[in-house]
Amino acid sequence: MAGIGHARNTDPQIGDWLNAIDPTGRDDAAKANIREARRSYDRANKLPAKLAEDLSRLTSLAQGVWASARKADNFAEFAPTLTEILNLKREEAACLQQDGGDLYDALLDGFEPGMSTENLTNILGKLRPALVALRGKIENSSFQPKPLTGRFDEAKQMEMARRLATVFNYDWDAGRMDRSVHPFSSGYRSDSRVTTRVNPENVFDCLYSAIHEVGHANYENGRDPAMDRTPAGGHASMGIHESQSRMLENQIGRSRAFMDWLYPQMVDVFGDIGVDGPDELFAVVNRVESGFIRTESDEVHYNLHVLMRFDLEQQLISGDLEVADLEEAWNDRFFADFGRKIDRASNGVLQDIHWAVGLFGYFPTYSLGNMYAAELFAAMGKTLPDRDHCIARGELSPLSNWLEDNIHRKGNVYPARDLMRQACGKEADEHALVEYLNQKFGGLYGF
């Protein structure tokens, strides 16, 4: 199937059509369609058909190998397959590489067009020491919130998740919510569906996974219907997509203001939750604890997880790090950033499926999404002075409308960098995220 797709995507007639188009006088959406069609055609033509087929075949098989190795906590079982994937990804990067460009740039461009490894390394490199310093202050604080304990009925968790989806303006006429082992969002504008998972001993995993996936779905459902099924109607980048889910989940969903709405709702659904009011719920929801798993981490540790993966996969692609040395490199870096020793491979190098399916260059878009979210939330506050009062009342339509106007309806008409300039008046960097995290956790932990 990959071979058939490659043949169609590289059909010379597409090039003839593109060459025949005169973009003069066309609107921004039409120009974006031309730009993205040309980009897709040019990238496809740089890849040999056999490479596309080999990558598809190997990464399909690799998922089962990874799952087996993860279950056995045995990285050596997966290492030979990962080595094959890495060799093919290096070959792919070499084919896509711009003259004199970085190999990693070519892979990153598939997820975050226009972003260079150099620029990204500069931004994320400044983020890491700020996060490590913040983590240290929190660990030394005399105030440490207690975790939420007890068991929460699975059916009631789904009821609460659906209430959250509704208050975050999820369009139930355009989608549905179901349970899955790993939460995800799928579909396209008028049919965008979400899932969440339930754990009787971790209700927040269900609730915040639901909010996160609703953020993705709202981005899909909020696109301009006039651009349906066109390149201009797509998403600007994976970082922009992630910003929509992370903002709903963190800046809004974990804010002190939102606890005024969430606390009585949770009591209504679950009864006594063992938390004494919105203030205490805010502390419990934002409890910081160093953990092994990226997807379960708090806001302070999440980006440290991502930055570690970003650095390691750059070294893998460049050849500075080989698969045989990856597990040791992972464990050493984790101890340096988190102060804990990895106890088993499933809590370390085997926890994510991304490399097994060939997604090199994807991880940094998570941190970009967090930075974009912080910038957008700050810009939103300047134009919506009653933003926090709306959040406290659970009246989120003004916030949703702002996101639709500034992000959703613009689709992929403008590259991510230009889209952020339009919405925020500046390019995104690490400053807004660092300021947001320091203010939030400094206030909570008393420093």
What is the count of structural domains for the chain? 1
The pLDDT value recorded for residue 190 is 87
Spatial distance between the Cα atoms of 60 and 353, rounded to a whole number of angstroms: 12
Reduce the DSSP state of residue 200 to 3 states and report it. coil
407 vs 98 pLDDT, higher one: 407
pLDDT tens string 312-353: 999 999 999 999 999 999 999 999 988 899 999 999 999 999
pLDDT tens string 390-420: 999 999 999 999 999 999 999 999 999 999 9
Query: Tokens 């989120």 identify what position?
Result: 396
Query: Does residue 169 fall inside a structural domain?
Result: yes
CATH code, domain with 410:
1.10.1370.30
Mean pLDDT of the 36-62 span:
97
Query: Does residue 294 fall inside a structural domain?
Result: yes
Query: Does residue 230 fall inside a structural domain?
Result: yes
* Whole-number percent of the chain with pLDDT over 90: 93
- For residue 183, is pLDDT > 90? no
The pLDDT value recorded for residue 118 is 93
Indicate the Cα dihedral angle 390, 395, 401, 403, nearest 10°.
60
Query: Does residue 17 fall inside a structural domain?
Result: no
The pLDDT value recorded for residue 390 is 98
Q: What is the CA radius of gyration of the chain?
A: 22
The pLDDT value recorded for residue 83 is 98
Query: Does residue 120 fall inside a structural domain?
Result: yes
Q: Is 149 exposed, middle or buried (CB count within 10 Å of its CB: 0-12, 13-18, 19+)? A: exposed
98 — pLDDT class (breaks 50, 70, 90): confident
Query: Does residue 414 fall inside a structural domain?
Result: yes
**Which residues in 424-443 are b (16+ Cβ under 10 Å) and which e?**
beeebbbbbbbebbeebbee
The pLDDT value recorded for residue 186 is 92
181 — pLDDT class (breaks 50, 70, 90): confident
Mean pLDDT of the 90-102 span:
89
Mean pLDDT of the 301-306 span:
95
Query: Does residue 65 fall inside a structural domain?
Result: no
Reduce the DSSP state of residue 417 to 3 states and report it. helix
Spatial distance between the Cα atoms of 262 and 246, rounded to a whole number of angstroms: 18
Query: Tokens 């396209």 identify what position?
Result: 188
C-alpha count within 13 angstroms, C-beta hemisphere, residue 440: 24
| 430 is annotated as an active-site residue | no
- For residue 189, is pLDDT > 90? no
Q: Contacts from 20-24 at CB under 8 Å and sequence distance 24+? A: none
Mean pLDDT of the 91-117 span:
92
The pLDDT value recorded for residue 292 is 94
Catalytic residue among 213, 327, 375, 404: 213
Q: Are 400 and 218 in contact (CB under 8 A)?
A: yes
Range of the structural domain that residue 127 is part of: 115-447
**Summary mean pLDDT of the chain:** 95
- For residue 100, is pLDDT > 80? no
Structure-block tokens of residue 437: 């995290």
- For residue 182, is pLDDT > 80? no
91 vs 184 pLDDT, higher one: 91
Query: Does residue 68 fall inside a structural domain?
Result: no
